[in-house]
Structure 1
Amino acid sequence: MLKIYTEKTFLIPDHRRYVFPMLLDLHYKKSNTISESYCITDRIKEANIIILPLEYNYIRNLESGIKSRYLVLAREYNIPLWIYTGGDFGYSFNAKEIYNFRVGGFHSKLHANTFIMPSFIVDPYEYTLKTQFYPIEKKNKPTLGFVGHAQLSVIKAIKEFLVYLKVNILNRFLKKQHLDYQPFYPSSIKRATILKKLKRSGSLKPNFVFRDKYRGGARTKAENIKSTFEFFENIEQSGYTFCLRGVGNFSVRLYETLAMGRIPVFIDTDCRLPLDWKINWSKHMVYVNSSNASEIEQSIVDFHNKLSPSDFKDLQSKNRVLWQTYMNRNAFFKEIHDVFKP
Structure 2
Amino acid sequence: MIKVFTDTSFITPEYRSIIFPLLFDLCYIPNLGLLEKYILVDSIEASDIVIVPVDIGFFLKNNKTHWLKEFITNGNQANKKVWIYTAGDFGITLNEDVFTFRFGGFGSKVDGKTFILPCFISNPYAQLDIEFKPITKIKLPKIGFVGHASGSFIKWGKEYLAYLKQNLKRIIKFIYTDYQAFYPSSYKRYQFLSALEKSELIETNFIFRDKYRAGVKSELEKKQTSAVFFENIATNPYVFCLRGVGNFSVRFYETLAMGRIPLVIDTDFKLPLDSLINWKNHCVMANKDNFMETLIDFHTTISDADFEQMQYNNRKLWSTYLNRDTYFSIIHDHFKKTE
Return the TM-score normalized by structure 2. 0.97
CA displacement 1:86-131 (0-9 Å, x = unmatched): 0000111222x201000001110112111000000000001x1111
SS of corresponding position for 1:330: helix
Residue 230 of structure 1 pairs with residue 231 of structure 2:
no
RMSD: 1.0
Residue number in structure 2 paired with 1:291: 288
Residue number in structure 1 paired with 2:162: 163
Residue number in structure 2 paired with 1:305: 300
CA distance in 1, matches of 2:301, 2:230: 26
Give the letter aligned to residue 324 of structure 2: R
The 8 Å contact of residues 61 and 174 in structure 2, kept in 1 or not, is answered as no
CA distance in 1, matches of 2:329, 2:82: 17
CA displacement 1:42-83 (0-9 Å, x = unmatched): 121111111110111123345332220112112210111111
Structure 2 residue ranges without an equivalent (≥5): none
Residue number in structure 1 paired with 2:78: 77
The 8 Å contact of residues 60 and 66 in structure 1, kept in 2 or not, is answered as no
Give the drift of 1:167. 1.4
CA displacement 1:281-319 (0-9 Å, x = unmatched): 00111011x213xx1111111111122111111110000
Give the letter aligned to residue 73 of structure 1: N
Residue number in structure 1 paired with 2:238: 240
SS of corresponding position for 1:44: coil
Residue number in structure 2 paired with 1:132: 131
- Residue 323 of structure 1, aligned match among 299, 315, 318: 318
Residue number in structure 2 paired with 1:58: 58
Matching of residues 7-18 of structure 1 within 5 Å:
7-18=7-18
The 8 Å contact of residues 91 and 177 in structure 2, kept in 1 or not, is answered as yes
The 8 Å contact of residues 51 and 82 in structure 2, kept in 1 or not, is answered as yes
Return the TM-score normalized by structure 1. 0.96
Residue number in structure 1 paired with 2:151: 152
SS of corresponding position for 1:46: coil
CA distance in 2, matches of 1:268, 1:11: 38
CA distance in 2, matches of 1:194, 1:66: 46
Structure 1 residue ranges without an equivalent (≥5): none
Give the letter aligned to residue 291 of structure 1: K
SS of corresponding position for 2:120: coil
Give the drift of 1:214. 0.7
- Residue 314 of structure 1, aligned match among 284, 288, 309: 309
Residue number in structure 2 paired with 1:100: 100
Residue number in structure 1 paired with 2:23: 23
CA distance in 2, matches of 1:283, 1:167: 36
Kindly, what percent of the aligned residue pairs are identical?
46
The 8 Å contact of residues 146 and 241 in structure 1, kept in 2 or not, is answered as yes
Residue number in structure 2 paired with 1:279: 277
Structure 1 runs (4+) greater than 3 angstroms displaced: 59-62
SS of corresponding position for 2:65: coil
Aligned positions, number: 336
SS of corresponding position for 1:45: coil
